[in-house]
């Protein structure tokens, strides 16, 4: 599984250079406008040249993007990839053979640069030549590799060119079934974040086309924009799925949600449906049912392949620069063949998906969001700076992160210990899904906010502020302190914090610290953390009168050291519920004057001992010898 983890990083690296392609598509589309009418007759030529030059230098862009993507934006690797491409172009260009750099060549040199950086970034040479050691050695090494690679390519390029064209013909000979198979595999690989790898082969390598200028371009995507009348079959069929099928699933989830949760689910999934329709970003919707009904996802993958087969048989050819959303559909429609048919097909697809998913959710009682314990999907852009430290804790803290990257919809992590990941906390904090690929490689799907989350997590790591992180002291639901039916706690006269409504009669420690006080009735307990915070846990409201072992039983004593998740008190949930005003259990910091800022997770259902429900940043120490 470590191999799969490495592949998902490579898939992310392939996605990085593709962010420039929408610019090329927009320029090409704008060149079709009647600029003569506003006195700019030369503008179409300028726009077309801007578009063509992006595709011309696409191999260089891929070399640089892949190298940076594999190394976390290491400049030495990026420089090495560009040097490698320059050497390759120079040597092959001076040969008699007609060889041009391709995206595949750029990707290979980018991969070599990325691997070389990982291998040699810490290289130590003798002191008198150490200047060339470490990262500086990478461009030198790649230069020699590029030299040998280029000489070898002069000999094999003619055969390779013929192979790529023939491979395209073989794939084309598969007809509709070949397109179906691609569509099915593409959707399955989305689960592992590896879909960019298979897409890269079909979009940028298979099939060749000679432009009017005499240049060869390879792959469905460049051929489509170069004017190849046969290109677009591996892209057209994705439009009905992304523009209509996924939004239909979102509406089915909304309409099957409980009435009390429907307003929130409606807001969340309308955004997700709009993102899929406009931009082709599908993971926020797909991950809402992937983990709770994987068999339904397989059906979805099969249908996606069938849709591509249908578009192929109808002779529909369409393409995109980024993804099969409405924006790309409109921008590139002037290059399509029978592209308008995708709209009625999409409408039929949307109806089929909506009916199928509503029936399946209801028939098999699938716990999609808004139905019992459905997967979480949250709309919380404004809360990212506050949740990022909690997400960092749920991942296991900065010490557990070896590498952290992000793509459009997910954090891609390599962690030291997968066991310390708190999956429940991550879901509670807005993750649509968590995927373990083995070897420490983990993906956390946060939708289109993933890059912003990564940036805020990096800021939190760099600030390295003194903070205390709190776990859930019980299983149940976390609520704001203001909702506790007691004016003393709700008014924060005892201290500030949060409260919980328990589902189970167990209270566990939310922090690492020492038990400093247990009330005689054992309905409340005080803990002092290593940082000096005094935490009060009070089970229920008006419970001080409930004396006797039949109500509360402490399993720790004053002076005991406790860790997060350690059992503190057992209590009879039914008796306490019956004879108290409320089961609401406040968790407050009684010396709140020592806290500078507070962060809370969403007020949702929590598991006992779940991390990342609250964190506080401490004020600077004014003395006393304590580190704050």
Residues designated catalytic: 407
CB 479 within 8 A of CB 451: no
Tokens of 75: 């400049």
- Closest Cα to residue 22, out of 225, 176, 214? 225
For the sheet with 433-438, list strands across it: 401-406, 410-415, 441-445, 433-438
Strands 524-529 and 552-554: unpaired
- Closest Cα to residue 67, out of 116, 5, 18, 23? 116
**Burial (CB count <10 Å: 0-12, 13-18, 19+), residue 217:** buried
CB 430 within 8 A of CB 387: yes
Task: Give the residue carrying structure tokens 């940082």.
Answer: 531
Task: Give the residue carrying structure tokens 């969340």.
Answer: 268
Measured distance CA(310)–CA(233) in Å, rounded: 11
Alpha helix locations (H) across 398-478? 423-428, 450-463
Q: Is the dihedral angle over the CA atoms 177, 182, 183, 189 positive or is it negative? A: positive
- Closest Cα to residue 524, out of 494, 482, 504, 503? 494
Measured distance CA(112)–CA(106) in Å, rounded: 10
- Closest Cα to residue 575, out of 554, 538, 555, 550? 550
Measured distance CA(588)–CA(538) in Å, rounded: 9
Query: 567 by DSSP, 3-state: which?
Result: strand
Measured distance CA(603)–CA(379) in Å, rounded: 14
In whole angstroms, how large is the CA radius of gyration of the chain?
Answer: 29
Measured distance CA(401)–CA(404) in Å, rounded: 7
Tokens of 512: 């690492």
146: number of Cβ within 10 Å = 26
Q: Which residues contact 204 (CB under 8 A, 6 or more apart)?
A: 58, 62, 103, 104, 218, 219, 221, 222
| Phi, psi torsion values for 170, nearest 5 degrees | -65, -45
Alpha helix locations (H) across 57-136? 58-71, 75-93, 103-120
C-alpha dihedral, 495 to 499 to 505 to 510, nearest 10°: -70
572: number of Cβ within 10 Å = 17
Measured distance CA(284)–CA(431) in Å, rounded: 9
Nearest 5°: the CA angle 57, 61, 63 is 115
Tokens of 133: 């050691």
């Amino acid at each position: 599984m470590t191999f799969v983890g490495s592949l998902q990083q490579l898939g992310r690296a392939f996605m990085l250079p593709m962010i420039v392609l929408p610019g090329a598509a927009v320029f090409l589309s704008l060149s079709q406008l009647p600029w003569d009418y506003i006195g700019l007759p030369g503008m179409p030529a300028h726009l077309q040249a801007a578009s063509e030059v992006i595709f011309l230098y696409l191999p260089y862009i891929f070399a640089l993007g892949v190298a940076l993507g594999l190394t976390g934006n290491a400049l030495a690797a990026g420089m090495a990839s560009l040097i490698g491409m320059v050497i390759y172009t120079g040597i092959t260009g001076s040969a008699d053979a007609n060889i041009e750099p391709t995206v595949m060549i750029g990707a290979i040199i980018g991969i070599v640069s990325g691997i070389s950086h990982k291998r040699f970034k810490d290289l130590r040479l003798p002191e008198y030549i150490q200047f060339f050691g470490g990262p500086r050695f990478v461009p030198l090494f790649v230069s020699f590799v590029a030299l040998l690679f280029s000489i070898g390519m002069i000999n094999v390029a003619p055969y390779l060119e013929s192979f790529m064209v023939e491979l395209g013909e073989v794939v084309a000979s598969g007809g509709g079934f070949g397109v179906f198979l691609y569509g099915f595999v593409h959707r399955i690989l989305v689960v592992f974040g590896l879909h960019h790898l298979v897409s890269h082969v079909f979009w940028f390598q298979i099939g060749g086309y000679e432009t009017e200028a005499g240049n060869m371009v390879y792959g469905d995507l460049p051929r489509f924009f170069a004017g190849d009348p046969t290109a677009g079959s591996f892209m057209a069929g994705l439009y009905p799925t992304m523009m209509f099928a996924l939004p239909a699933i979102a509406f089915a989830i909304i309409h099957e949600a409980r009435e009390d949760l429907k307003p929130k689910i409606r807001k969340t999934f309308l955004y997700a449906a709009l993102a899929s329709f406009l931009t082709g970003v599908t993971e926020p919707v797909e991950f809402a049912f992937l983990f709770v009904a994987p068999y339904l996802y397989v059906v979805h993958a099969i249908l996606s392949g069938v849709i591509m087969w249908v578009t192929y048989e109808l002779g529909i050819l369409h393409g995109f620069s980024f993804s099969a959303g409405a924006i790309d559909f409109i921008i590139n429609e002037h290059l399509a063949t029978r592209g308008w048919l995708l709209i009625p097909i999409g409408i039929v697809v949307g109806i089929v998906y909506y009916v199928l998913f509503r029936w399946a959710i209801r028939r098999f009682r699938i716990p999609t969001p808004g139905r019992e314990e459905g997967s979480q999907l949250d709309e919380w852009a404004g809360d990212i700076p506050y949740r990022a430290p909690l997400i960092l804790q749920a991942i296991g803290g900065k010490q557990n992160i070896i590498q952290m990257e992000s793509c459009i919809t997910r954090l891609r992590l390599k962690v030291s210990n997968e066991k310390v990941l708190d999956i429940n906390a991550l879901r509670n904090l807005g993750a649509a899904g968590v995927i373990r690929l083995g070897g420490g490689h983990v993906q956390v799907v946060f939708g289109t906010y993933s890059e912003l989350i990564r940036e805020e997590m990096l800021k939190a790591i760099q600030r390295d502020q003194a903070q205390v992180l709190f776990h859930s002291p019980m299983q149940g639901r976390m609520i704001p302190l203001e909702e506790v039916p007691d004016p003393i706690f709700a008014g924060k006269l005892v201290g500030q914090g949060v409260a919980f409504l328990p589902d189970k009669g167990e209270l566990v420690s939310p922090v690492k610290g020492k038990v400093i006080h247990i009330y005689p009735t054992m309905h409340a307990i005080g803990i002092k953390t290593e940082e000096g915070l005094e935490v009060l846990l009070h089970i229920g409201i008006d419970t001080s009168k409930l004396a006797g072992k039949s109500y509360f039983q402490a399993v720790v004593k004053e002076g005991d050291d406790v860790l997060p998740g350690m059992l503190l008190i057992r209590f009879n949930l039914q008796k306490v519920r019956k004879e108290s005003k409320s089961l609401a259990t406040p968790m407050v910091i009684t010396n709140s004057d020592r806290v500078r800022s507070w962060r809370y997770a969403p007020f949702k259902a929590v598991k006992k001992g779940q991390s990342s429900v609250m964190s506080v940043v401490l004020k600077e120490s004014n003395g006393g010898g304590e580190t704050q």
